[in-house]
Amino acid sequence: MNRINIFIIAILALILSACVDATQTEILDSLLDQGIQTDKGELTIIYPRDGTVLPPEAVSPIVKQDDKTPGVNSHALIIGNEQSGYRIMPAEDKQLKISPEIWASIKTGSNSEMDLNLVGYADDDYSKILSSKKITITISADSVKYPIFYRSVPLPFLYAYKNLKKISWRLGSVDSDSIPAPVLSNLPVCGNCHSFSADGNTIGMDIDYGNDKGSYFISDLTHETKITKDGIITWSDYKRSDGEQTFGLLSQISPDGRYAISTVKDRSIFVAVDNLDYSQLLFPYKRDSIRI
């Protein structure tokens, strides 16, 4: 291919790119002129929720929607604010990942609000909006400076309860799209409520070891922390002779790491619900408490 042909192809590419940009601008202007701030039709934005607050380093969210408005088969997402301006993205599926480039361009600083306007129309005819929904999200002034340690549980609860080894603990950052790597997995027990001291050097975790609901693991955190019998206590030792069971519900390590506090001789009402969105009801109440 000679230089003239390469030059012609490059010119055509620039022309096509300009046409695409012009079309996007035309669509955006048309939708803005129609008043996208007004809710219309049977369109719901499932995620994010209206009023959601995100840390400044958060990756761009995935917008999930459900539109039952008759005649709608095309959608567009318009996001931004008056300060940063508005950007438009076609939303072809039930969920849309906001592009990192657009997300970066509209985050104007902490405590800034931005509108997410989702609109629906028929057969790419953006001249008439059939459905629309607007929510507002905020970029927080508070940063999440460190990775988050969290418990990953498959739902519904009854499935997790019967498949304990599928529960894992992960450590991940809000500024990454990558799935956080597991730091604890294949637990033979139901590791659950946990807390750290304020300096992050001490961990306490409810582990239900040896069929004892009152068992609790306390340890210093190191590069490799091992759960061993030596680090396990049981709240059931409190007045064990009276024969009353202890669950040790909602135990907590103190901020300085010197103490752990828990309910003892406690009771709970637990109901497993066969529903993916709401599958566990736990209502604990205490009769006494103790700290060590």
Per-residue pLDDT of the chain (292 residues; tens, 9 = 90+): 555 554 444 443 433 343 344 466 777 776 776 666 678 899 999 999 999 999 989 999 999 999 999 999 989 898 888 777 888 888 888 999 998 888 888 776 656 888 898 999 888 777 888 999 999 999 888 888 888 988 888 888 888 888 888 888 899 999 998 989 898 888 777 677 889 999 989 999 988 888 888 999 999 988 888 888 889 999 999 988 888 888 888 899 999 999 999 988 888 777 888 888 888 887 776 666 556 6
DSSP 99: P
Distance, in Å, from the CA atom of 57 to the CA atom of 187, rounded to the nearest integer, reads 32
Strands, sheet with 252-253, edge to edge from the N-terminal-most edge strand: 252-253, 260-264, 288-291
Cβ atoms of 169 and 185 within 8 Å: the answer is yes
pLDDT of residue 109: 62
What pLDDT shows up at residue 8? 43
Give the model's pLDDT for residue 135.
Answer: 93
Tokens describing residue 124? 């790419």
**Cα separations in angstroms, 249 against 172, 231, 241, 285:** 27, 18, 20, 9
Quick one: pLDDT at residue 235?
93
